[in-house]
């Protein structure tokens, strides 16, 4: 460790200082340069030991600086006292395979202790930190100084000059310039991608081709790793680091001495970016930082580098800020009571050992994962199993090769330590060992193998915990165990000759016991610490190999203990059935089923644990998972698809080996998701969660097996609660409130605890009301259960329709508001690149308006065609085809990221609008027709629910932060690709509308099949089919718009349908939402609070839509619609009064906020959802498609009218701008009161009868019956 401190000598004309260096690891060359500097009067060196000789040696150099050495913790404050510059280069160097996180674990305590001493001895000095990782050590020092009350951000520097030195050198080499005349600023941080060379600001100016610029940038970022690898374990950069640090120190000294215009890049506290600490050029003065010169002008490429660096930089800073409050002088105090050697070990050995353990277990997890996969392949894939049984000689060949690999890896240190040869050999060894285990496992029954895997996993976990906790030192037994292994081998040869079952049993017991003890010994050898013997941290391959072989041998001996005789070559397929001994009764079958389920579950959990360990301990994978969220989303989508297929497709679920393959893919996807999530949490928290989970699962499983209470009755209730939990999770993701997240986590843990009991009892069968068939071992292992009373098909159908159609309409409606500014900038940039001339603001605004307005134009076209498509292609076929324009539009908008063309964006929005128009017509129609009569209202409300959820997603600040950037907004606009793909994959498994199949296609067989799929086998199916058959007699003829308009009662209903659509769009809801942020700001809210208040409107809209869905089938459509219109009318009036008065009486503005929320509540109650599905409930099968088309067209026209008409109304009426809506809402309320029929509990024929009575037409007749339909 070394502290560099500088004291000023006031007797000198030119100010000279006393410099302290903490750690002799600082290069001797730098110390010589500092001693020769005329600015330094005294140079003090500090280290735990060994510094006195260096100080004596330097003191003989002829220069004015006096050199003093200080050794030991008790001399640290003496060294620092009255200094004016302190340099901390202390810490261990980075070695090959060591990440910067490993480096942080080692160096954090050192920096904290030295900074604490600095705060006591010389708090007014300049503190220059060279210790890596600078991105984390500077925040640590800052937090320690803050805690001591002496923090001055102007005097704390993270020395990043080495990056500038490297950038200058590499650029000068590439361009053939004099390096002394080259200056390249480097901003950001001091590790990997956080290092951002700003080559565009280099002096003199230089230019590179894109490929060359990227190559030189990567070299600058990875220069440290280049040195570490070149030194091959001998350390990291020292000479170049010393040169760079000396340059920075001289600049600081020059500024203290009074020199002007001293500019250096340094990692300091900053407000230039969102990062609290950031490296930029700074102007140095006598008191430290005089001015932060900021980023300057960045090219797009450099801006992208900056954006890519921010997540890692923020994570590094957070790592330094949070631990800093618990790391401090304690280590220094403890050092005062220990020897220098013990103190050095305290600061360095423990973190290195922890990093070594993480590396060993990461390698071990990969080995076990490969071995588990090989075993599963051989026991579940029948051809491989037969191959292994037939060619037993292959095992001898593989064993021989394995023995050679084992000797090489165990006996040759140079091979075992040479990277990457060691990993290649270990990988080959693991593959061969996995293959050998698979060959052995294929000769045993599947149940026995799975039981052996489970028992081995339990024993290994228990023994590992014991080895970690026990105070007994088992490493003394190493020699004895080796002798016992030799004896065991000899005993095994004897057993093979005698072929005695009792000797084999004894042999298995002894082998399991010996390798259990071996596992404890090897674990303690790896842990090190106070144990007599330990493995060097460089021997991670050897340590992983030892533990792996312990586990493999333990598994083999347990397999011999738990199994019967191995299968012979002529065994039946799988070898699982012994017809002579098998008792075909329910109990024996159920027990076999339970064993199979728990066997599969054990394999799943082992794979999952392997993934979690890999993501927690392997830093490159951990960082990769954190940076690439899209992989998590992809895994989530695949998981959902696989769950749906396995849960709903019985044939697939029971077909071997497809079921196991799909289950394996599901397990891998789920494991990746869990690993990715675990990577974002502290390792301690992850392992604590695993421990608690294991305990709870074990306890609840025992409870489920012992209790006499039947929990399977709760299945339906739990499913409803699961849906509510998903929605609550969505709300928590949007609100980002810690207390809401805590409540969500508690409810989720409670819900799935009960689910575990239910699923366990369903698997056990017996006297429980519900149980799973023994053939459903895959389904049981999947631990999923869908509602028994209501089939999964109905839920799946309405969910896919709402997500794949209605959601996209809502998303494309709301997302453009979030990206409008970025679209304007993109348009201007494209025009500038094309013509070289800037586009006028008027033209930009016009193009932005076109981007917004083209969507409803496409919606009108799509809405007009919705009825025709629904009739000709069917409801399901129309929605499947409708994914094409949405995917095409999303693809065109995504293509804008690579093709500079705002025309593509406009065309993409047009196609998206076309798709949305069809969706708004067909989706409510489909939802209404697949739902039973008692749930038609709730099912129809799902359309509006999906729309408002999509709009709420668009308002999510997290989504805007991740994708709402200049180089990512294309992805934001094209996210509708995902629900389209989901609908294309899942909707084919959903049934077609039974009404369409029977009335339009006259196919009673398919109609009944669809009803059975939607309702299940029940008497309701036949009753509903009979009602549809009566409506189909005589078969309805498709009706044209002309004929519909010429039929009085249908014309009446069409007028009602159009009025209902206008009541939604002309209610003023869009105006209120768009104006809400300004109202919130006028209520003295901050911009951030106003933004969250606006998001709160979206949340209220979603929640009240749920309420509407729950009560619409009880309260009635007409009643709810009138209630909503009346409430909105009164709220709009009150809001207008409040807006007028709030200028004179400020408290009134709070009532504006309240009335906005009340307004949204009443909109969600009725006008938000009901107009979408009431059209389908009013018209018969013949008139419904054309009526839906006209109604949707009117709805889109109303949307365009409000979009274009409200801004000028707002400009003219200002605070009175809501008065027109008060009048319109009153008109629509009266219209609904007098003209809109109630459709709750009525068929379309019943509604038509009401319309006939009101129009005076007693029977179906047209004004001119001779008019042709088309």
DSSP string, 610-632: HHHHHHHH-HHHHHHHHH-HHHH
Stated pTM of the model: 0.44
Strand partners, 157: 128
54-59 long-range Cβ contacts below 8 angstroms, 24+ apart: 54/24, 54/28, 58/31, 58/32
- Copy the structure tokens of residue 694: 């294991």
pLDDT at 170: 92
**Structural domain 2-157, CATH architecture:** 3-Layer(aba) Sandwich (3.40)
Q: Name the more confident of 941 and 1202.
A: 1202
The string of pLDDT tens digits covering residues 1031-1046 is: 666 656 677 788 888 8
As a whole number, mean pLDDT of residues 1083-1100 equals 71
Which comes out higher in pLDDT, residue 37 or 1010? 1010
Count CB-CB contacts under 10 A for residue 536: 12
Give residue-wise pLDDT tens across range 111-166. Answer: 888 888 888 888 889 999 998 889 888 999 998 898 888 889 999 999 999 999 99
Task: Tell me what pLDDT residue 971 has.
Answer: 79
More confident residue, 341 or 1090: 1090
Q: What is the pLDDT of residue 195?
A: 94
Nearest to 85 by CA among 279, 314, 217, 245: 245
Beta carbons of 146 and 324 less than 8 angstroms apart:
no
Q: What pLDDT is recorded for position 1065?
A: 86
Please compute the mean of the pLDDT values over residues 656-665 and round it to a whole number.
Answer: 72
Which of 323-332, 494-503, 1014-1023 comes out lowest in average pLDDT? 323-332
Task: Identify which of 431, 375, 432, 423 has the alpha carbon closest to the alpha carbon of residue 403.
Answer: 432
Q: How far apart are CA 1152 and CA 87, in angstroms?
A: 58
What is the pLDDT averaged over residues 84-112? Answer: 70
CATH code given to domain 1041-1255: 1.20.1250.20
Arithmetic mean of pLDDT, 79-96: 76
Q: What is the average per-residue pLDDT within 827-847? A: 81
Query: Helix or strand or coil: residue 235?
Result: coil
pLDDT (mean) for 331-347: 38
Q: Determine the Cα–Cα distance for residues 1166 and 238; give it in Å rounded to an integer.
A: 72
pLDDT of res. 1055: 92
Contact 892, 908 (CB under 8 A): yes
Decide if pLDDT at 18 tops 90: no
| Structure-token pair, residue 221 | 């970022």
Percent of the chain with pLDDT over 90: 7
1116 backbone dihedrals φ, ψ, rounded to 5°? 100, 150
Of 581 and 1068, the one with more pLDDT: 1068
Q: pLDDT, tens digit, for every residue of 419-468?
A: 777 888 888 888 888 888 888 888 888 878 888 888 888 888 888 888 88
Q: Is 248 within 8 Å of 161 (Cβ atoms)?
A: yes
- Across the range 1054-1069, mean pLDDT stands at 88
Residue 1034, SS3?
coil
Domain map of the chain by residue range?
2-157, 159-324, 351-567, 627-782, 792-990, 991-1035, 1041-1255
Structure-derived torsion over alpha carbons of residues 548, 552, 554, 555, reported in degrees to the nearest 10:
140
Q: Residue 414 CB: number of other CB atoms within 10 A?
A: 8
Helix axes 382-390, 421-441, angle to 10 degrees: 90
Q: What DSSP letter does each residue of 689-737 carry, written as one string? A: HHHHHHHHHHHHHHHHHH--S-GGGGHHHHHHHHHHHHHHHHHHHHH--
With tokens 């709903």, the residue in question is 648
Give the helix/strand (H/E) hosting 950.
helix 936-955
Say yes or no: do domains 792-990 and 1041-1255 share a fold.
Answer: yes
Name 145's Cβ contacts closer than 8 Å, sequence gap at least 6. 115, 118, 119, 123, 151, 152, 156
CATH number corresponding to 792-990: 1.20.1250.20
Active site residues: 163, 190
Tokens of residue 315, six digits: 């994570």
Is 70 exceeded by the pLDDT of residue 692?
no
Average pLDDT over residues 229-234: 70
Q: Would you say residue 649 has pLDDT above 80?
A: no
Q: Residue 24 pLDDT more than 50?
A: no
Please state the φ and ψ torsions of residue 277, each to the nearest 5 degrees.
Answer: -130, 140
Q: Which two three-digit tokens encode residue 587?
A: 């109990």
> Directed axis angle between helix 586-617 and helix 683-706, to 10°?
170
Contact 85, 246 (CB under 8 A): no
Backbone angles phi and psi of 935, in degrees to 5: -120, 10
Residue 566 gets which letter from DSSP? P
Q: What is the mean pLDDT of residues 1228-1235?
A: 91
- Please give the angle made by the CA atoms of 665, 668 and 671, to the nearest 5 degrees: 150
Condensed to tens digits (0 to 9), the pLDDT of residues 763-798 reads: 666 565 555 555 544 444 444 323 222 333 455 556
Which has more pLDDT, 816 or 826? 826
Q: CA-to-CA distance for 910 and 423, rounded, in angstroms?
A: 54
**Confidence at residue 168, expressed as pLDDT on a 0 to 100 scale:** 92
pLDDT averaged over every residue in the chain: 76
Judged by average pLDDT, the poorest of 357-361, 677-681, 806-810 is 677-681
Beta bridge partners of 88: 129
By C-alpha distance, which of 658, 446, 453, 430 is closest to 548?
430
Say what the pLDDT of residue 132 is: 83
574: left (phi over 0), alpha (psi -120 to 50) or beta: left
Lowest mean per-residue pLDDT among 450-454, 593-597, 630-634: 593-597
Assign 1129 a pLDDT band (cuts: 50, 70, 90): very high
Supply the angle between the helices 738-764 and 586-617 in degrees, to the nearest 10: 150
The torsion defined by the Cα of 495, 501, 505 and 511, in degrees rounded to 10, comes to: 20
956, HSE (Cβ side, Cα atoms, 13 Å): 20
Q: Which CATH architecture has domain 159-324?
A: Alpha-Beta Complex (3.90)
DSSP 9: B
Q: Give per-residue pLDDT as tens, 371-406.
A: 888 888 888 777 788 888 877 667 777 777 777 777
Please give the pLDDT value at position 281. 93
**Predicted pLDDT at 184:** 92
DSSP 935: G
């Amino acid at each position: 460790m070394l502290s560099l401190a500088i004291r000023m000598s006031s007797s000198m004309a030119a100010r000279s200082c006393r410099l302290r260096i903490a750690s002799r690891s600082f290069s001797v060359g730098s110390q010589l340069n500092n001693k020769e500097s005329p600015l330094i009067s005294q140079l003090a060196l500090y280290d735990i030991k060994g510094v006195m000789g260096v100080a004596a040696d330097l003191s003989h150099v002829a220069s004015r600086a006096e050199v003093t050495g200080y050794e030991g913790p008790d001399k640290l404050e003496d060294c620092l006292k009255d200094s004016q510059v302190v340099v901390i280069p202390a810490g261990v160097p980075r070695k090959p395979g060591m990440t910067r996180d490993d480096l942080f674990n080692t160096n954090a305590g050192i920096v904290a202790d030295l900074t604490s001493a600095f705060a006591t001895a010389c708090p007014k000095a300049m503190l220059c930190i060279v210790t890596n990782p600078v991105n984390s050590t500077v925040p640590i020092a800052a937090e320690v100084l803050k805690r001591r009350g002496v923090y001055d951000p102007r005097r704390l520097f993270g020395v990043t000059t080495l990056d500038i030195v490297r950038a200058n050198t590499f650029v000068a080499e590439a361009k053939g310039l004099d390096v002394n005349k080259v200056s390249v600023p480097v901003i950001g941080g001091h590790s990997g991608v956080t290092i951002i060379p700003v080559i565009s600001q280099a002096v003199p100016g230089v230019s590179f081709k894109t490929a060359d610029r990227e190559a030189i940038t990567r070299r600058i970022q990875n220069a440290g790793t280049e040195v570490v690898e070149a030194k091959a374990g001998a350390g990291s950069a020292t000479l170049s680091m010393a040169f760079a640090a000396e340059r920075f120190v001289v600049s600081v000294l020059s500024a203290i001495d009074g020199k002007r215009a001293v500019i250096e890049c340094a990692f300091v506290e900053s407000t230039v970016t969102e990062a609290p600490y950031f490296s930029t050029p700074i102007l140095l003065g006598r008191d430290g930082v005089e001015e932060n010169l900021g980023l300057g002008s960045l090219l797009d490429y450099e801006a992208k580098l900056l954006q890519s660096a921010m997540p890692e930089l923020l994570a590094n800073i957070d790592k330094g800020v949070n631990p800093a409050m618990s790391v401090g002088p304690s280590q220094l105090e403890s050092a005062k009571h220990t020897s220098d050697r013990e103190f050095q070990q305290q600061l360095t050995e423990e973190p290195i050992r922890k990093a070594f353990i993480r590396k060993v277990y990461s390698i071990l997890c990969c080995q076990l994962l490969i071995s588990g996969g090989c075993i599963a392949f051989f026991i579940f894939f029948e051809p491989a199993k037969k191959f292994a049984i037939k060619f037993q000689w292959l095992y001898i060949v593989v064993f021989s090769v394995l023995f050679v690999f084992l000797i090489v890896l165990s006996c040759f240190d140079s091979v075992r330590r040479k990277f990457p040869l060691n990993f290649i050999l270990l990988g080959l060894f693991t593959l061969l060992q996995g293959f050998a285990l698979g060959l052995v496992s294929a000769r045993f029954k599947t149940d026995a193998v799975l039981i052996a895997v489970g028992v081995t996993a339990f024993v290994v976990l228990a023994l590992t915990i014991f080895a970690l906790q026990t105070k007994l030192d088992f490493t003394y037994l190493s020699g004895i165990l080796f002798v016992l292994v030799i004896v065991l081998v000899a005993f095994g040869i004897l057993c093979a000759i005698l072929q005695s079952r009792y000797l084999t049993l004894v042999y298995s017991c002894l082998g399991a016991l010996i390798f259990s003890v071996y596992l404890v010994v090897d674990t303690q050898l790896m842990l090190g610490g106070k144990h007599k013997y330990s493995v060097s941290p460089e021997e991670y391959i050897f340590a992983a190999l030892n533990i792996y072989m312990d586990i493999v041998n333990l598994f083999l001996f347990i397999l011999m203990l738990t199994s019967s005789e191995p299968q012979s070559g002529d065994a039946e397929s799988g070898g699982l059935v012994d017809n002579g001994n098998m008792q075909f009764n329910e109990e024996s079958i159920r027990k076999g089923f339970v064993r199979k389920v728990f066997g599969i579950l054990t394999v799943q959990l082992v794979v999952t644990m392997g993934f979690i360990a890999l993501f927690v301990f392997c830093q490159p994978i951990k960082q990769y998972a954190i940076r690439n969220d899209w992989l998590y989303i992809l895994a989530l989508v695949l998981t959902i698809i696989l769950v749906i297929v396995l849960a709903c497709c019985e044939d697939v679920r029971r077909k071997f080996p497809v079921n196991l393959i799909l289950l394996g893919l599901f397990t891998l996807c789920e494991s990746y998701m869990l690993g990715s999530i675990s990577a974002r949490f502290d390792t301690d928290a992850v392992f604590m969660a695993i421990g608690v989970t294991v305990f709870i699962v074990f306890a609840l499983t025992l409870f489920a097996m012992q209790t006499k209470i039947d929990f399977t009755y709760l299945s339906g209730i739990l499913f409803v609660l699961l849906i509510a939990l998903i929605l609550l999770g969505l709300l928590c993701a949007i609100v980002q409130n810690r207390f809401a997240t805590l409540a969500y986590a508690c409810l989720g843990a409670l819900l799935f605890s009960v689910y575990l009991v239910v699923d366990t009892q369903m698997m056990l069968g017996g006297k429980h009301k519900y149980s799973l068939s023994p053939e459903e071992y895959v389904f049981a292992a999947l631990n999923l259960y869908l509602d028994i009373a209501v089939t999964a098909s109905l839920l799946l159908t309405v969910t896919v329709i709402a997500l794949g159609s209605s959601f996209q309409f809502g998303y494309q409606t709301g997302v453009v508001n979030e990206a409008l500014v970025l679209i304007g900038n993109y348009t201007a940039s494209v025009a500038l690149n094309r013509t070289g001339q800037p586009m006028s603001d008027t033209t930009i605004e016009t193009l932005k308006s076109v981007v917004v307005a083209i969507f409803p134009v496409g919606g009108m076209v799509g809405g007009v065609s919705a009825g025709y498509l629904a009739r000709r292609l069917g409801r399901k076929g129309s929605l499947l085809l409708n994914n094409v324009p949405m995917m095409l539009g999303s693809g065109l908008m995504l293509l804008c990221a690579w093709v500079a063309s705002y025309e593509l964006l406009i065309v993409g929005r047009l196609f998206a609008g076309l798709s949305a128009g069809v969706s708004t017509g067909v989706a409510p129609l489909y939802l209404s027709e697949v739902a039973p009569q008692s749930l038609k209202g709730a099912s129809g409300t799902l359309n509006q629910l999906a729309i408002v959820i999509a709009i709420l997603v668009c308002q999510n600040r997290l989504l805007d932060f991740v994708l709402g950037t200049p180089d990512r907004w294309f992805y934001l606009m094209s996210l509708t690709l995902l629900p389209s793909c989901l609908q294309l994959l899942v909707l084919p498994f959903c049934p077609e509308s039974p009404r369409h199949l029977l009335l339009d296609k006259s196919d009673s067989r398919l109609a009944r099949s669809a009803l059975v799929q939607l309702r299940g086998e029940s008497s309701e199916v036949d009753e509903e089919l009979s009602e549809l058959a009566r409506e189909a007699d005589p078969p309805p003829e498709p009706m044209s718009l002309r004929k519909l308009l010429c039929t009085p009662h249908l014309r009446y209903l069409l007028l009602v349908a159009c009025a209902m659509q206008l009541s939604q769009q002309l209610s003023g809801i869009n105006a209120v939402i768009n104006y809400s942020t300004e109202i919130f700001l006028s209520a003295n809210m901050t911009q951030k609070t106003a933004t969250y208040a606006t998001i709160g409107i979206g949340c209220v809209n979603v929640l009240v839509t749920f309420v509407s869905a729950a009560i619409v089938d009880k309260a009635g459509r007409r009643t709810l619609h009138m209630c909503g219109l009346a409430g909105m009318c009164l709220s709009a009036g009150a809001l207008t009064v409040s807006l007028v008065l709030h200028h004179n009486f400020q408290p009134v503005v709070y009532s504006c906020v309240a009335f906005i929320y009340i307004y949204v509540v009443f909109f969600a109650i009725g006008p938000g959802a009901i107009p979408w599905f009431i059209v389908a409930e009013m018209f018969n099968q013949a008139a419904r498609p054309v009526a839906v088309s006209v109604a949707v067209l009117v709805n889109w026209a109303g949307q365009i009218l409000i979009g274009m008409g409200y801004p000028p109304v707002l400009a003219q009426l200002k605070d009175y701008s809501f008065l027109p809506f008060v009048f319109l809402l009153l008109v629509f309320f009266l219209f609904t009161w007098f003209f809109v029929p109630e459709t709750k509990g009525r068929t379309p024929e019943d509604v038509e009868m009401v319309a006939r009575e009101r129009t005076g037409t007693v029977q179906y007749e047209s004004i001119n019956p001779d008019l042709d339909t088309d």
